Amino acid sequence: MSKSLSRKTFPFKVPHQTPLYLAPMAGVSESPFRRLCHGHGADVVVTEFLSAEGIRRENEATISKLRFNADEHPIGVQIFGADPAAMADAAAMVTDLFMPDFVDINFGCPVKKVVRRNGGSGCLKDLDLVQEIIRAVSKATHLPVTVKTRSGWNEEMRDPVGIALRMQDAGARVFALHARTRTQMYTGQANWDEIAKVAEALDIPVLGNGDIKTAEDAKRMLDHTKADGLMIGRGSYGQPWIFRQTRALINGEPLPATPGVNERFAVALDHARMVQDYEVDPIGAAIEFRKHLGWYVKGLPNSADLRAKLHQVRDFAEVEAIFSNYLTFYAEYVARGLKSDDPDVSSMTCEAA
């Protein structure tokens, strides 16, 4: 039977047969960015990973990150922890109070402060505990329970197919694999062969994740792994249009052009306005947004000078002024037919004329 006829079914409604997910990313996949990516073609979004203990104790900072708009559906809430009871309580609260489309369990975060409490990828050292957590969460909610994980704790415990089968047996309804071990962190290369093997072995949909930096990368992963969907994380930084571009390639259409400087700045400003409307602390929001600004201007002529200015902003109005000044510089840059490595460029500033 052909792949298209034997396609696995997602446990919630997705707009395309091969959905593109925005990965859950701490400090990045907040509501404004999720909405922006939805607008640029992401089919499914997931919240930042949230502590089960923080949810069950109604920690104000944790609960605030559970806010999402109606236009963010389909959306999943990702929780982490190593106590099955706490994870179950958190899933029940999330289901009753926030009504997402699914609950996702993080078994992949490699960050030390999470792992040292056996959360995230720390759980991969005890697969009995992993299954206990999935079963507890599944009993606590009527929503589909999905998982995101890595290929193992370390090379000695690397067994993505075995891990995947145990998670499926425990009740996971979608399986996302970042094909690195925890000890690899983000070094080396993600092993796409492992995603292919897991996709072949499981009866539930499998999402491929890892080393998708461009739409071309995404299409190559899909062709290589025959995954049922893709999860794009760091490849979305400063380029939410990667989802639209990827969809075009999947559909066999020409690759849409990467936005030019004017359009890129327009997207960044649209993102900034959404953040401004969403956050209650305008100065804190502007400071936190600096990282996004750095990603949006990556690779532009004189980008180091531009980033230095953007990384000092304390008000969103400053961003518009800096962008306006840069466009004046860029017009001269183009008119003079320069290249980014020409000696004259380094002597040009991004100040207004």
Residues 153/121, Cβ–Cβ less than 8 Å? yes
Q: Which residues pair with 351 in a beta bridge?
A: none
Task: Please answer whether residues 69 and 35 qualify as being in contact, where contact means their C-beta atoms are separated by less than 8 angstroms.
Answer: yes
Q: Is 299 left (phi over 0), alpha (psi -120 to 50) or beta?
A: left
Taking the C-alpha atoms of residue 308 and residue 5, their distance in angstroms, rounded to an integer, is 52
Is 37 tagged catalytic? no
Catalytic residue among 37, 109, 123, 350: 109
Specify binding-site residues. 24-26, 78, 148, 178, 233-234
Residue in this structure with the two tokens 């104000």, named with its chain if needed = 60
Do residues 152 and 142 lie in contact, with contact meaning Cβ atoms separated by under 8 Å? Answer: no
Q: What's the rounded Cα separation, in Å, for the pair 195 and 64?
A: 34
- Binding positions for FMN are 24-26, 78, 148, 178, 233-234
Length of the chain: 353
Under DSSP, the state recorded for 260 is -
Separation of alpha carbons 157 and 178, rounded Å: 15
DSSP 4-70: TTTPPPPSS--SSSS-EEEPP-TTTS-HHHHHHHHHTT-SEEEPPPEEHHHHHTT-HHHHHTT---G
Q: Chain centroid to CA 142: how far?
A: 25
Provide the sign of the torsion angle of the four alpha carbons 314, 317, 320, 322, taken in this order: negative
CA angle 226, 222, 163 (to 5 degrees): 60
Cβ atoms 211, 180 nearer than 8 A: no
Spatial distance between the Cα atoms of 214 and 217, rounded to a whole number of angstroms:
5
β-pair partners for 102 = 76
Which contiguous run of DSSP H or E holds residue 92?
Answer: helix 84-98
In DSSP terms, 149 is beta-bridged to 107, 177
The catalytic residues are 109
